[in-house]
Chain A
Amino acid sequence: MSELLEARNLNVRFNTMFGVKHVLKDINIGMAHNEILAIVGESGSGKSVFSKSIMGLLGERGTTDGSIWLHKGKTSKSGESTGSIDLAGMKQTELEEIRGDQISMIFQDPMTSLNPVMTVGKQIAEAIRIHQNKSMKESLEEAGRLLDLVRVPSGRKILGVYPHQLSGGMRQRVMIAMALACKPKLLIADEPTTALDVTIQAQILALIKELQKELDMGVIFITHDMGVVYEIADRVAVMYKGEVVESGTLEQIFTAPQHAYTRALLAAAPKLGEMTGSDLPRSFPVLTMEEELAGKGGNVAQIDGHAVDYNEDPLLTVRNLQVIFPRRHNFFGQVTHQIHAVSDVSFDLHKGETLGIVGESGSGKSTIGNAILGLLGEAEGDVRYGEIDLLNPTPEQRELVRKDISFIFQDPLASLNPRMTIGAAVEEPLIIHCPDMSAADRQKRAKELLQQVGIAPDLYRHYPHEFSGGMLQRVNIARALTTNPKIIVADESVSALDVSVQATVLNLMMELQRNLGVSFIFISHDMAVIERVCHRVAVMTKGQLVEVGHRRDIFENTQHSYTRKLLAAIPQIDFSTRQQKTFELINDEVPDPVFPVGEAPTPILMKEISPSHKVATE
């Protein structure tokens, strides 16, 4: 079991301004040379700290005790076998020999993890030159071979290219090539697919799995996503607040989880296909993690979402919405190329309904949200809210629209002014929209709202940095509710949250919809979340709508090839048909819809499958 890496009684403490923080507590864990060990946990669980302590990258504030044994290290440069070494007790200069050679690592964000001023080839070659005494020319040749290995098409050609010229998926391949440069015994992957689109994630997961077999490496795969764990892992260790609470084979963890935390984590993760056969959205059967661990969870009811009356006129109609941004300019500043961020998009939103807009990055889904909020001067078309033309409202109408259409953005902390108490943030819309209200009444209303979203009203005078992400997103929801809006545009509102927090925030949104009848435009890249919370779904790619319909139409009677591709890319947890999914190791990435001036994307013709289900003809 523990023939490659073994952590024994590993403790890590950080010296901070506020004293010593004990972040890893008595970690005992081992892994074999040819397996993929997934370490799963939420933010603050210590999973990344564990990976960094293996690499010796904790920095000067971190102190380690205990040991991390790397067994059967491969033969070192000088020719002698290194035998077993204790990584925790090594000096930095010794670790520099090991890092990148015997153990290497890939990181979460490929956009920022490559040096922007160094060519891709040189960055890969550097790892080879450091550890293998090869010349620059030999190293670059080897780098070309490595790029072929990670299936970069015409790999040798991109050796001289800078990172910003590559897409996210390509950069992550470059990262992997760099990590594999010296054929390491152990590869640590820290959330390597979290920043990528699902289709790219599927490709990268398949690649890592295949390379693990080809090179006979051990892989430590760190993630927060249970679906990804299912897809890739042989064994799983679950971490919570610096401790390994449970570890076992993949099947043990998924089918017979022992620890309350593991059970809650599994219950909180939306699984694709779970909603088959039900018309309405449904809440998650979980409480907050604190309550779950205190034993209050277990049999929480799943409550159906709000039922929508589709005979009423729609609340919001969007017809032929088009948003075009200038992209490239010629020498004289004239626009030569335009990006058609949204082209010819039409849909309706009914009262009390959640409409999901789903698509990958660059699909234009956020642009639609911004256009509805009236934040884009470039938007053209007909967007109507009752009698009001949202793209050209009169000043009085604009006032009303700002009151009736509210928003929740992705980053809960960045959306709140750090110098304003949460109470003031919730109150602010009232100052603008109800200027006659007295200060005391405003405060009372703000406290009610905080109470409503599950935040104790006496936290009214506290500042955003004092709260966790989930709490802050609740504050943002309270702020969005201040003016009793009819519509809330929620742009990736739960993507930055931990799964267990995500589930409780989504539960809150569904509860508010049941009680207040508010409509949501729910913009997300996550098909599983969309399936869980939406009444109707619109699928977008390259700025165009390719399929729109009731949730069951989209998920149970999928018509468009792009929708199918999206669904196929999502990891599905299903032990009954535990078959290896085969991924084509292809690299088709959706290009941005950029066209020279005068040209436009081919218009899409929608054909009707049923009155509620429309799909683009292919």
Chain B
Amino acid sequence: MPQYILKRLLGTLGVMFVIAILAFFFVHMLPGDPVRMLAGEDATLQEMEIIRQKLGLDLPLHQQFYIFLVNLLQLDFGNSLISGDPVYDVLADRYVLTAKLTLVCLWFIPAGIVLGVIAATHKSKFLDRACMIFSVSGISVPEFWLGLILIQIFAVKLQWFNPTGFQSWADLTLPAITIGMMGTAIIARFTRSAFLDVLSENYIQTARAKGVKRFNVTYVHALRNAMLPIITVIGLQIGFILSGSIVAEAIFGLPGLGSLLIESVVARDYPVVQTLLILYSFHFVMINFIVDVLYTVINPQVRLK
């Protein structure tokens, strides 16, 4: 198993390296001279030359890339074109907020699994239909509508929560419900189909023939086998949530990564966009790595290869 994990880890580093190259060329692929962009429309040639030297853009490409990599490893992402502050500072607060929100949103995992299991074990009966109607609604209801309705009911009418802004963890409740609904619905559907596959396997029949109680057949024998396809989908969902939800952040007045991305793209704040590109990729690559490791933990056939 350690060999397998080491292999995956090397693969992960390889992917990150490729992403770094792409992000590096991102600035170079933009139309026009980046220095012109940095210096502004009215800059003189001397001013531009000074900026060029300051940024090291007069160096050969491979040296530029080397410096870019070293800076990246030191979490130095350059300065924002708009505010002039280091990108790191621009990002930090927003990232912490999105991370907190993601953490609270994780309720979708147990909720989705439980709904899916209930649906699968009551196949074609009322509970199955109910769970699946809920799940289809979760996928089809748009976030902005759900968010507004939740604010209307729980913040305006019942006044249980603040409608917008972030002062305490409690303020994340409504956004987490809004964002997590989609994940719950997707996981529920996936769990249901994975579970139905597993429940028709021969070893489930063996377990029942041993006299294992129905509950234990479901949660001891079936669940672990069904988890294999489910954790892949869970990983992807976490990746999406970590990228920040533009709609939910707008509705609930939460300054997270999603709104930062939109702001930066609109303002052509390229260093920030570049950093977000690297960060998002990093999320997905890391999550995939963790999913692979979890696979080996759950499935001995992978572990003992």
Partner-B contacts on A (CB < 8 A) = 55, 57, 92, 96-101, 104-105, 107, 109, 112-118, 126-127, 130-131, 162, 164-165, 175, 178-179, 181, 331
Give CA–CA (A107, B210) in the complex, Å. Answer: 12
Distance, CA A178 to CA B203, complexed state (A): 12
State the CA gap A112–B201 with chains docked (Å).
7
Query: Taking A96-B213, A112-B201, A130-B211 as contacts, is the C-beta distance between A107 and B301 under 8 angstroms?
Result: no
| Contact (Cβ within 8 A) B202 A117 | no
A99, B210: Cβ atoms under 8 Å? Answer: yes
Residues on the A chain within 8 Å of B28, using CB: none
Q: What residues on A are CB-neighbors of B300 within 8 Å? A: 116-117, 162, 164
B208 in the interface (beta carbon within 8 A): yes
Nearest chain B residue, comparing its CB with the CB of A95: B211
Query: Which residue of chain B has its CB nearest to the CB of A124?
Result: B210
Closest 3 CB pairs of A and B: A100-B211, A100-B210, A99-B211
Docked-complex contact B221 and A57, CB < 8 angstroms: no
Report the separation of the CA atoms of residues A97 and B211 in the bound assembly, to the nearest whole angstrom: 6
A residues in contact with B46, CB < 8 Å: none
Given A115-B221, A116-B300, A126 and B206 contact (CB-CB distance below 8 Å): no
Given contacts A113-B202, A115-B221, A130-B213, 19 further A-B contacts (CB under 8 A): A55-B209, A97-B211, A98-B211, A99-B209, A99-B211, A100-B209, A113-B203, A116-B301, A117-B225, A117-B298, A117-B299, A126-B210, A127-B210, A162-B300, A162-B304, A164-B301, A178-B206, A179-B209, A331-B3
Q: B203's contact among A57, A97, A115, A179, by CB below 8 Å, is which? A: A115
Chain B residues closer than 8 Å to A100, beta-carbon distance: 209-212
When the two chains form the complex, which single residue of A92, A101, A117 contacts B214, counting CB atoms closer than 8 Å?
A92
Chain B contact patch, size range:
20 to 34
How many A-B pairs have beta carbons closer than 8 Å: the answer is: 78
* B residues in contact with A118, CB < 8 Å: 221, 224
Assuming the contacts A112-B203, A115-B225, A165-B304, asked whether A126 and B209 have C-beta atoms less than 8 A apart, the reply is no
Give the residue of B3, B202, B208, B301 whose beta carbon is less than 8 angstroms from that of A99. Answer: B208
Bound Cα distance from A97 to B224, whole angstroms: 24
CA distance in complex: A114, B211 (Å)? 15
Residues of B within 8 A of A (CB): 3, 7, 201-203, 205-214, 221, 224-225, 298-301, 304
Separation of A107 and B221 alpha carbons in the complex (Å): 17
Interface pair B211/A131, CB less than 8 Å apart: yes
A57, B200: Cα distance in complex, Å: 12
CA distance A104 to B300 in the complex (A): 27
> Which residues of the other chain, B, contact A107 by a CB distance below 8 angstroms?
202, 205-206, 209
Cα of A116 to Cα of B300 in the assembled complex, Å: 8
> Which chain B residues lie closer than 8 Å to A99 at the CB level?
208-211
Interface centre among B206, B209, B299 (most CB of A within 10 A): B209
In the bound complex, CA of A112 to CA of B202 (Å): 6
**B212 adjacent to A96 (CB under 8 Å):** yes
Contact A104 B299, beta carbon cutoff 8 Å: no
Residue ID in chain B nearest A119 by CB atoms: B300
Q: How far is the CA of A14 from the CA of B118 in the complex (A)?
A: 24
Tell me which of B210, B214, B301, B304 contacts A178 (CB under 8 A): B210
Residue numbers in A under 8 Å from B202 (CB-CB): 107, 109, 112-113
Query: Shortest CB–CB separation between residue A320 and chain B, in angstroms?
Result: 33
Q: For residue B221, which residue of chain A has the nearest CB?
A: A115
Question: Which A residues are in CB contact (< 8 Å) with B210?
Answer: 99-100, 104, 126-127, 130, 178, 181
| B residues near A115, Cβ cutoff 8 Å | 203, 206-207, 221, 225
Give the complex CA separation of A585 and B304 in angstroms: 30
| Residues in chain A near residue B214, CB distance under 8 A | 92, 96
A-B contacts, 12 of them at CB < 8 A, read A57-B208, A97-B211, A98-B211, A104-B210, A107-B206, A114-B206, A116-B225, A117-B224, A117-B299, A127-B210, A130-B211, A165-B304
Contacts of A162 in B (CB 8 A): 300-301, 304
Contacts of A117 in B (CB 8 A): 224-225, 298-300
Question: Please, which residue of chain A has its CB at the minimum distance from the CB of B303?
Answer: A162
Q: Which residue of A lies closest to B124 (CB)?
A: A60
Q: Which residues of B contact A164 (CB under 8 A)?
A: 300-301, 304
Q: Is the CB of B212 within 8 A of A116?
A: no
- A57, A112, A114, A131: the one contacting B209 at CB < 8 Å is A57
**A68 CB to nearest B CB, Å:** 16
Residues of B within 8 A of A175 (CB): 206
Chain B residue nearest to A105 (CB atoms) is B209
Residue among B207, B225, B299 having the largest count of chain A Cβ atoms under 10 Å: B207
